[in-house]
A = this chain, B = another copy of it.
Amino acid sequence: MNSVLIVGSIAYDDVKTPFGSVKNSLGGSTIYASLSASLFSKAHIVGIVGHDFKKEHVELLRSKNIQLEGLTHDSGLTFHWSGRYEKNMNIRHTLKTELNVFSKFHPTIPLEWKKISYVFLGNIQPEVQLDVLNQLESPKYIILDTMNLYIQSHRKALLKVLKYVNLVVVNDQEAILLTKANNLITAAEKIQLMGPDTVIIKKGEHGAILVNKKNVFVIPALLLKKVIDPTGAGDSFAGGLIGFLAQQGSYDWITLKKAMLIGTVMASFCVQDFSVQGLLKINHKSVHDRWLEFYKTSSFPHFKL
C-alpha cells in the first residue's frame, strides 16, 4: 500500500445538531482525514494528544492500519472543540475552543516518514504547516486545507506556505475571503497565482469545483435524504482525495477528477452519522457501491444536438 502523510488536529468534540448530540467524541482533521485515506492508502499521522486520549481510540486507529509513530503524547488535555449546528446545517456556531496540548504542537516527522510523497496538511496554523514541509525530503504532492482564522490573522505565513503547495482545498467562503474575488472561477485563478497549480473549492451540499490552469471540473454532491452531522466532511473529502492519489501514484488531471469524486463519496459517508461513526462502518465494497450510485445519479448522457 502506498503511503500518505497527514498532519493536523486531533480533538475531542462536543457536537449538537438537529438530530442529536455527542460529547467528547473523537474528531479533528487528522482523524477524519486518516480514517478516510486509510481505505486507499497507508496513512501516517502526525499530531498531539493529551493524557486523556483514550486507549480505545489509539486501538481504533491502529485497527485501520494507521501509523502512529508521529503521535506526541503530552501531559495536558487533548484539544477540545464544541459546536452547534442550526436547522439549516450550513450554519455552525463554535461554542468553545480549548486548544490545550494543541497550543504546544511542534510536529516532528519521524525519520522514515520524511520520504513520503503524498502529504495532506490539515487545517492548522500555516506556520506549523510550513514547519512540516521543511522537514520533508521529497514531497511529490502536497494538499493544504486552511480556514477563515488563518486567512485573516496569519495571512503572511499562509501566503508563504502556499508557494510550496500543489493543491489547495477550501470552501467557497474561504476562497472569496482569501482572494477578495467576486466569483469562484476568479477566486480559483487568484489562488493559482499564489502558488498552487490546482484548486478545489468545496460548496458543501452543492458539490465542488476543481480548477487548474487549463481545465475546470464541476460536480454536485451526493444527494442525501438525511445529514446527521456535517463535522469532518471536509477532512473526509481531503483524506479520500490524498489517499486515492497516493493509491494511484498519479496526480494528472483525470486522476484528480477521480480523486475529487472519491472525496465526495467519502464525505457523504461522514455526514451520515455523528463523529467518525460514518467512516467506521464502511469498507471497500461500500465505497465502490456508493461511487456507482453517484455515477448513476450524476453522470451525463452523451448526445449530439
- A sample of 14 cross-chain residue pairs with beta-carbon separation below 8 angstroms, ordered by A number, consists of A185-B223, A186-B225, A203-B206, A206-B207, A206-B220, A215-B297, A217-B297, A218-B297, A218-B298, A219-B298, A258-B301, A261-B300, A261-B301, A284-B305
A186 to B303, CA, bound (A): 30
A225 to B218, CA, bound (A): 13
A261 to B295, CA, bound (A): 16
Interface flag for A291 (CB, 8 Å):
yes
Say which residue of B209, B223, B254, B299 sits within 8 Å of A209 (CB atoms): B223
Interface flag for A159 (CB, 8 Å):
no
A184 & B223 in contact (Cβ 8 Å cutoff)? yes
Contact residues in B for A96 (Cβ distance below 8 Å): none
A305 to B293, CA, bound (A): 13
A224 to B297, CA, bound (A): 23
CB distance from A256 to the nearest CB of B (A): 10
Number of interface residues of A (CB under 8 A): 41
Interface flag for A57 (CB, 8 Å):
no
- Please name the residue on chain B nearest to A211 by beta carbon: B223
Interface flag for A287 (CB, 8 Å):
yes
Interface flag for A257 (CB, 8 Å):
yes
In addition to A207-B220, A294-B300, 9 A-B residue pairs with Cβ atoms within 8 Å of each other are: A87-B182, A183-B224, A184-B223, A207-B207, A218-B222, A218-B298, A287-B305, A288-B304, A299-B300
B299 & A183 in contact (Cβ 8 Å cutoff)? no
CB distance from A247 to the nearest CB of B (A): 9
- Please name the residue on chain B nearest to A206 by beta carbon: B206
- Please name the residue on chain B nearest to A208 by beta carbon: B220
Q: What 0/1 pattern do residues 179 to 197 of A give for CB contact below 8 A with B? A: 0001111100000000000
CB distance from A285 to the nearest CB of B (A): 9
B219 & A223 in contact (Cβ 8 Å cutoff)? no
Q: Counting chain B CB atoms within 10 Å of each CB, which of A257, A288, A301 scores highest?
A: A301
A212 to B299, CA, bound (A): 17
A218 to B225, CA, bound (A): 13
Q: What 0/1 pattern do residues 265 to 305 of A give for CB contact below 8 A with B? A: 00000000000000000001001100100110111111111
- Please name the residue on chain B nearest to A186 by beta carbon: B225
A300 & B305 in contact (Cβ 8 Å cutoff)? no
Contact residues in B for A104 (Cβ distance below 8 Å): none
